[in-house]
Amino acid sequence: MVGVSGFFQKDDQKLRYYLTVFTLFMALHFFMLEQWAGALMALLGSARNYISSHTDNKWVMISFFIGAWLLAIPNTNQWVHLLPVIGTTFGTWALFREKGIRMRLFMSIGTVCWFTHNFFVGSIGGVIIETIFLAINSRTMLKLLKDGAVQSTEH
């Protein structure tokens, strides 16, 4: 419910905080499934979510890119294990460089990567949650679009 609640947020900062907690839970989930690349990416993602709420520094973002790829490559023995790091890369760009709808669009690309990973590793709960995230994130983007259209007609 924490992750779902996060994607209902129109406020970028609140979304980051909800995602911080959610990705900690996902890290635990993947550790229990012994899916090390997914677990490491979720753990790194949690730190990234939190830190991105305090800075948008490009060097901090680049360090998360490097960290993600360095953690993932040794734990990757099938193509499917690259999907979490690709998803994490899109999410990292989104959280450090984008705002509003663009941030959520980049995050949706990452969500599709995670959805595909979860499907192939047999994480039924992961598939369900990523599907819900896509739906709710799409709804929130539509609301942001509508709010922007209303604001532009009011001024």
pLDDT tens digits along 20-39:
888 898 889 888 988 777 78
- 134 lies in some domain: yes
Number of domains in the chain: 1
Give the pair of three-digit tokens for residue 147.
């709010």
Res 101: pLDDT: 92
- 85 lies in some domain: yes
- 155 lies in some domain: no
pLDDT category at 16 given cuts 50, 70, 90 is: confident
Question: What is the chain's mean pLDDT, rounded?
Answer: 85
Return the exposure string of 35-53: e unless at least 16 CB atoms fall within 10 Å of the residue's CB, then b: bbbbbbbbbbbbebbbbbb
Res 152: pLDDT: 44
Cβ atoms of 140 and 10 closer than 8 Å: yes
- 124 lies in some domain: yes
- 66 lies in some domain: yes
Return all residues near 125 (Cβ < 8 A) that are at least 6 apart: 29
Region 75-79 average pLDDT:
83
Q: Is the pLDDT of residue 153 over 50?
A: no
Return all residues near 4 (Cβ < 8 A) that are at least 6 apart: 129, 132, 133, 136
DSSP codes joined into one string, 106-152? HHHHHHHHHHHHHHHHT-HHHHHHHHHHHHHHHHHHHHHHHHHHHHH
- Where in the sequence is the domain holding 123, given as residue range(s)? 2-150
Angle at CA of residue 34, ends 114 and 127, nearest 5°: 30
